[in-house]
Amino acid sequence: MERARRQANYIRLLAFLVAATILMAGLKLELYPQLYMLGVAGLLVYPLIAQGLLFLAERQDRPQKPVHQLLMQADAMIIGVVCALLHFALVPSLVLLIIVHANAVSSGGLKPWLLNLLMTAIGALMMGWILGFPALPVEQSPVLLTVISLLGLGIYVGASSAFAHLQARYLKQAQDAVRRQQKQAVDMSRKLAKYLPPQVWGSIFSGKRDAKLETRRKRLTVFFSDIKGFSAISEELPLETLTSMLNAYLSEMTRIALRHGGTIDKFIGDAVMVFFGDPKSAGAQEDAFRCVMMAIEMQEQMKLLRQRWKREGIDHKLEIRIGINTGYVTVGNFGTDSRMDYTILGTDVNLASRLESACRPGGVLISEATQDLVKDRIQCRNIGDIQVKGFNRPIPVFEAMGAKKDAGARNRYVSAETQGFGIHLDLERIRNFDKNSILKTLARSATDLKQEKPVEVDFEAEGFSLHVKSAELKKREREKIIEMMGRAAKKVQTEVRV
């Protein structure tokens, strides 16, 4: 902005220097009375006055645009006065009109230019009336005056072009700087997004939510999970293996949680805390249903992960426990103005954590409040009442077994594991473009087993995993395994649509 203001002042100074030079040339050629020297002095002083007005407006923190527009109109009126002083000599007057109006069009646009025309006419008429509207015929205009006028126009055009080029270069530099800053901001926001739930990050960056300390009471469904015996396992495994295993586990659990719409509160080692219903809610029943379905899918995904880890030499049977409860909690930003945490607090949060501790490995334990919301869509088994720490009364609990729509032959999951063999598929997660590869792998493996050829297969795709090592298979189990692969292929063929 400062650079643009200085360039505008230079252009004005140059324009009035040209006007003063033309008038001075006319005086030297004795075309005009010596009294017009006052006009030359005024043309030299005016740009300094204009610069002073802009500086004063800046010092007083006033908007400079109105001052700049006012000075443009003053420029036009003064040029009209100079045209009258030149006795309306054709070429010098045209040169000055071109200079002042070209500047008006480039700086302001159509409306300021039309106003400039009016102000030029007013200045010319006023001074012309005072002087008696003198006129210098074209044939009496000296060639030298014409040459000086055209030379002044050429200098002005060249200087204006140079300033325009500089301005374009500065603008490009500014645009490049803005693009760099935008890229840095995007990169930084992506990095920061990894530390926030996507729903919270999105609402903050869209302006729907402010990063300030505020909480509210809301009915949420809360989820807790952890890996049974993880502390003992972590002492036995090498650090790199443990890190890789934990990251793979948390990555899979996060992907499932986000797909179901859960808000991931935090990871505490191997423990995962998720809640449904804030910042977005689909209604209490739908939130609870999504949470339970997420938990069931996580348990199924653990079967695939166990097969993968076993192939990698991790023989521990890793199983997760899950507890879910629905109730009114306090949700929002807790902490200080400089450091806050978006989380939930309340008795019903503690109950979900206690249910997770009481859950059998591989199970999904839900409270009565959650069961009431999902019983029409989820198969639940009544476990009875349990006593949990921090609660005086026994707590009725249920085990979520699966979605009722998945019961029977249309169960979306197939999972089995024995020595030398492991299969896992989730029909809803298998991608249609993986279907043919999965069917070919199952067919080829089953055919080779029937023909008692050596088979070593480790195939994995989204929603599907197959491990076969024929050398380790027990003979009495071969037929069952071949039959199981046939049933899996039939499910994939009929229930995964291309």
Interval 62-102: pLDDT, tens:
777 777 788 888 888 988 898 889 888 888 889 888 888 77
Residue (of 391, 389, 356) closest to 370 by Cα position: 356
Residues 33 and 108 grouped into a single domain: yes
| Domain annotation covers residue 203 | no
Residues 393 and 424 grouped into a single domain: no
Residue (of 280, 293, 300) closest to 324 by Cα position: 293
| Domain annotation covers residue 147 | yes
Judged against a pLDDT cut of 70, whether residue 206 lies above it is answered with no
| Domain annotation covers residue 89 | yes
Interval 390-423: pLDDT, tens:
888 899 999 999 887 765 545 778 888 888 888 8
| Domain annotation covers residue 192 | no
Average pLDDT in the 380-385 region?
Answer: 93
Average pLDDT in the 283-305 region?
Answer: 93
Considering the chain, what is the average pLDDT of its residues? Answer: 85
Residues 427 and 404 grouped into a single domain: no
Q: Is 296 helix (H, G, I), strand (E, B) or coil?
A: helix
| Domain annotation covers residue 206 | no
- Residue 306 belongs to what domain range? 219-331+341-408
> The CATH number of the domain where 262 resides is what?
3.30.70.1230
At residue 420, what is the residue type? G
At residue 24, what is the residue type? M
DSSP at 264: E
Residues 367 and 244 grouped into a single domain: yes
Do 248 and 303 meet the contact criterion of CB atoms below 8 Å apart?
no
The Cα–Cα gap between 342 and 201 comes to 11
- Give the end of a domain, one of 408, 430, 451: 408
Residues 279 and 158 grouped into a single domain: no
Residues 455 and 354 grouped into a single domain: no
Interval 423-469: pLDDT, tens:
888 888 888 888 899 999 999 999 989 888 898 988 888 888 888 88
Interval 210-254: pLDDT, tens:
556 677 899 999 999 999 888 888 888 888 888 888 998 999 999
Instruction: Outline where 86-197 has alpha helix (H).
Output: 90-107, 110-131, 143-193
* Virtual torsion, Cα 258, 260, 266, 271, nearest 10 deg: -120
The Cα–Cα gap between 241 and 249 comes to 12
pTM of the predicted model as reported, rounded to 2 decimal places: 0.63
Predicted pLDDT of residue 349: 94
Split at pLDDT 50, 70, 90, the class of 109 is low
Residues 160 and 16 grouped into a single domain: yes
Residues 81 and 140 grouped into a single domain: yes
Predicted pLDDT of residue 409: 47
Predicted pLDDT of residue 424: 87
Other C-beta atoms lying within 10 Å of the C-beta of residue 3 = 11
Average pLDDT in the 35-39 region?
Answer: 89
Average pLDDT in the 252-266 region?
Answer: 91
The Cα–Cα gap between 117 and 101 comes to 8
| Domain annotation covers residue 299 | yes
Number of domains in the chain: 3
Average pLDDT in the 176-203 region?
Answer: 74
Average pLDDT in the 279-294 region?
Answer: 93
Residues 394 and 430 grouped into a single domain: no
Residues 156 and 270 grouped into a single domain: no
Split at pLDDT 50, 70, 90, the class of 340 is confident
Average pLDDT in the 34-43 region?
Answer: 89
Judged against a pLDDT cut of 70, whether residue 182 lies above it is answered with yes
- Give the end of a domain, one of 361, 392, 408: 408
| Domain annotation covers residue 10 | yes
Beta partners for 184?
A: none
Residues 248 and 317 grouped into a single domain: yes
Predicted pLDDT of residue 183: 85
Interval 263-281: pLDDT, tens:
998 888 889 999 999 888 8
- Give the end of a domain, one of 175, 201, 233: 175
Residues 370 and 232 grouped into a single domain: yes
CA triple 271-250-401, angle to 5 deg:
70
Q: Give first-to-last CA distance, the chain, whole Å.
A: 59
Q: Is 319 helix (H, G, I), strand (E, B) or coil?
A: coil
**In three state form, how does the secondary structure of 329-396 look?**
EEEEEEECCCCEEEEEECHHHHHHHHHHHHCCCCCEEEEHHHHHHHCCCEEEEEEEEECCCCCCCCEE
Sequence-distant (6+) residues with CB within 8 A of 466 are: 422, 423, 438, 441, 442, 445, 457, 458, 459, 460, 485
